[in-house]
Amino acid sequence: DVKVTQSSRYLVKRTGEKVFLECVQDMDHENMFWYRQDPGLGLRLIYFSYDVKMKEKGDIPEGYSVSREKKERFSLILESASTNQTSMYLCASSFAGIGRGYTFGSGTRLTVV
């Protein structure tokens, strides 16, 4: 069964901490994505990557960075966590090209206190 695995389901971090969210996919997908989902706002794209060591900013990249050193792994980094980054974070992956299916992870519920 193909899957996208996010390292944590729930995280609680303190303001100012550096936070790492890890995502691993086993489908040999070229593309990987990080979204955040907030009530009433739907999914918003933070960063995406279409190849190893490549990254592109999405709609809301401020306060975040990413790393893709291996094809199967895409990490989201909160350099200095703030309370407005409390959210559900979803990782997704897909093959390259138009109309390809996205496979999502189960999500990480991050709370910054």
Partner 1 sequence: KNQVEQSPQSLIILEGKNCTLQCNYTVSPFSNLRWYKQDTGRGPVSLTIMTFSENTKSNGRYTATLDADTKQSSLHITASQLSDSASYICVPGHVREGSQGNLIFGKGTKLSVKP
Choose between 2 and 17: whose C-beta lies nearer to partner 1: 2
Q: Are strands 108-112 and 10-13 parallel, antiparallel or unpaired?
A: parallel
Q: Are strands 42-49 and 56-57 parallel, antiparallel or unpaired?
A: antiparallel
Environment class of residue 49 by beta-carbon count within 10 Å: exposed (0-12), middle (13-18) or buried (19+)?
A: buried
Q: Does 109 bind partner 1 (CB under 8 A)?
A: yes
Q: Which of residues 66-85 bind partner 1 (CB under 8 A)?
A: none
Could you tell me the CA-to-CA distances from 50 to 16, 46, 67 in Å, in that order? 30, 14, 12
Q: How far is the CB of 56 from partner 1 (least distance, A)?
A: 7
Q: Does 33 bind partner 1 (CB under 8 A)?
A: yes
Size of the site for partner 1 (CB under 8 A): 31
Chosen residue from 36, 105, 110, 112 binding partner 1 by CB under 8 A: 105
3-state class (DSSP) for residue 58: coil
Residues that bind partner 1 (CB under 8 A): 4, 31, 33, 35, 40-45, 48, 50, 56, 58, 88, 90, 92, 94, 96-107, 109
